[in-house]
Amino acid sequence: MRIPIKYIIKKISLFFVVFMGAITVNFALPRMMPGNPAQVVYSQILRAGGSGVSPVYLNQLEVEYGLSKAPLYIQYFQYLDNLFHGNLGVSISYFPEPVSTILAQALPWTLFLVISSITISFFIGNHLGRYAGTNRNTGKDLAIDLFSMFMAAFPAFVLAFIILDIFAVYGNLFPIGGAYGISVNEGLNVPFILSVLYHAFLPALTIILISLGGWVLGMRNNIIPSLNSDFINYSENLGFKKYQIKSIAYRNAILPNMTGFAMSIGLSTSGVIIEESIFSYPGVGMYMINAINSLDYPLIQGIFLMVVIAVLIGNFAVDILYGFLDPRIRQEGD
């Protein structure tokens, strides 16, 4: 396959521009907050038991929140410098942990949970949708559609509570929290991996069920016109075999869902916030809720920034992927 270099360069530049925009907003927001957030954070840290912090840290906070007297552009470059060194400040509620350390611990769990559940859901959803669409207006189609609409409309946190209650609290079949059991050693060993899968099962099930409906309905709605398209009719006219025709229809119908796929991985990074806290799953979502509860501004801001980046990367991945999958898009970039 020809690599669409121009297209990729165009998309990378676009990504870079939006990315700079996002981190600039992140820079500007606390500077627009009324009052003295640095003072608030400082006294919270003191209250949270950080009695050892010196007033030097207050100065540092003021710099971070744009309260220093330095000109704005100097502050901006300081902020960028901090950012690219991974310095996102110090968490209040987990004082004295730096925000970056917390994110580094939490993010892998979130990514693991999100990517694996969305992938599974994407796979199942597309196949169900294809099945429903090719058996249009039958009882099976109707059943699948109703189920999908119901699931797509179901509030995620309610489902999370139901699943947690049934399978963990009453059923006792699954753990009620954590990412792995206390008795296993972290590392690439079988008991650890099994424990991780076991702990991820319920939160993953929730995400799969919640996101499934969208894929199903999307696929069904794409494959129906695809099956009636001129090129499918023509393939039939040429005596193509059933499997060939189905694959042509499927290939054309899955393109729009592909866009959704990478994007929803990005979006779900924010979407899992409530689920993770319900399942006490130690991803960014759980930390986000804790941070909000304890007004941990640095941590909230750090997670916010990370979610934005995740969504951006998701979008970027979509663009690139789409460029490879759909020759028509590729050419537009030329």
Partner 1 sequence: MDSSAIEIKNLNVGYNTETDFSLIIKNFNLSIKKGEIFGIAGESGSGKSTLAQAIYRSVKYPGEIESGEVIFKDKDIMKMEANDLRKIRATLFSFIPQAAMNALNPVRKIRYQFYDLLIAHGILPEKNNDKISAVLKMVRLNESVLDNYPHELSGGMRQRTVIAMSILLNPEVVILDEPTTGLDVLVEHEILKDLKNIQRKYGITMIFITHDLAILYEISDRIAMIYAGEIVEFGARDDMLENSTHPYNFLLLKNIPRIGVKMDNIIKLKGNPSNFKENFPGCQFYERCPFSKGECSEKHPDLREYSNEHYYRCIRFPEWKQNV
Residue ranges that bind partner 1, judged by CB under 8 A: 228-231, 233-241, 244, 248, 251-252, 255, 325-328, 331
Contact residues for 184 (Cβ-Cβ < 8 A; gap 6+): 191, 192, 195
3-state secondary structure of 66: coil
Cβ of residue 6: shortest distance to partner 1, in angstroms?
A: 15
Distance from C-alpha of 218 to C-alpha of 26, rounded to nearest angstrom: 34
Distance from C-alpha of 313 to C-alpha of 263, rounded to nearest angstrom: 8
Number of separate helices (H) and strands (E) present in the chain: 13, 0
Cβ of residue 232: shortest distance to partner 1, in angstroms?
A: 9
Cβ of residue 325: shortest distance to partner 1, in angstroms?
A: 7
In terms of CB distance, is 201 or 240 closer to partner 1? 240
Distance from C-alpha of 95 to C-alpha of 51, rounded to nearest angstrom: 11
In terms of CB distance, is 224 or 286 closer to partner 1? 224
In terms of CB distance, is 32 or 238 closer to partner 1? 238
In terms of CB distance, is 172 or 237 closer to partner 1? 237
In terms of CB distance, is 189 or 244 closer to partner 1? 244
Cβ of residue 135: shortest distance to partner 1, in angstroms?
A: 14
Cβ of residue 236: shortest distance to partner 1, in angstroms?
A: 7
Contact residues for 163 (Cβ-Cβ < 8 A; gap 6+): 202, 205, 206
What are the backbone dihedrals phi and psi of residue 118, each rounded to the nearest 5 degrees, phi first?
Answer: -70, -35
Cβ of residue 259: shortest distance to partner 1, in angstroms?
A: 14
318, 258 Cβ separation under 8 angstroms:
yes
In terms of CB distance, is 199 or 330 closer to partner 1? 330
131, 142 Cβ separation under 8 angstroms:
no
